[in-house]
Amino acid sequence: MKASTFTVAVITALASQSLSAAELDLKLTNLTQGLHFTPILITAHASDDTLFEVAMPATTALQTMAEGGNLAPLIDQANAAGSDVIANPAEGLLAPSTSTMTTLTTAEANEYLSITAMLLPTNDGFVGLNSWKIPKEAGTYSVYLNAYDAGTEGNNELVVEGSGAPGTPGIPAAPGGNAGSGGTGLSSSDSNTMIHIHPGNLGDDDLAAGASDLSNTVHRWLNPVAKLTVTVK
How far apart CA 160 and CA 196 sit, in angstroms, is 24
How confident is the model at residue 8, as a pLDDT? 42
Domain annotation covers residue 6: no
Domain count, the chain: 1
The CATH number of residue 102's host domain is: 2.60.40.2130
**pLDDT tens-digit readout, 144-198:** 999 999 999 999 999 999 999 999 999 999 999 999 999 999 976 778 999 999 9
Domain annotation covers residue 64: yes
Domain annotation covers residue 12: no
Domain of residue 164: give its range.
Answer: 21-232
Kindly state the average pLDDT of the residues 206-215: 96
The Cα-based distances of 24 to 8, 141, 164 in angstroms read 28, 11, 32
**CB within 8 Å of 73: residues ≥ 6 apart:** 60, 61, 64, 65
Peptide bond into 166 cis (omega under 30): no
pTM assigned to the model: 0.90
The more confidently predicted of residues 12 and 32 is 32
3 pLDDT above the threshold of 90: no
Kindly state the average pLDDT of the residues 186-212: 92
Domain annotation covers residue 7: no
Domain annotation covers residue 15: no
* Nearest alpha carbon to residue 175 among 223, 215, 227, 116: 215
- Are 163 and 178 spatial neighbours (Cβ–Cβ below 8 Å)? no
Domain annotation covers residue 1: no
**pLDDT tens-digit readout, 14-52:** 444 445 589 999 999 999 999 999 999 999 999 999 999
Domain annotation covers residue 35: yes
Domain annotation covers residue 96: yes
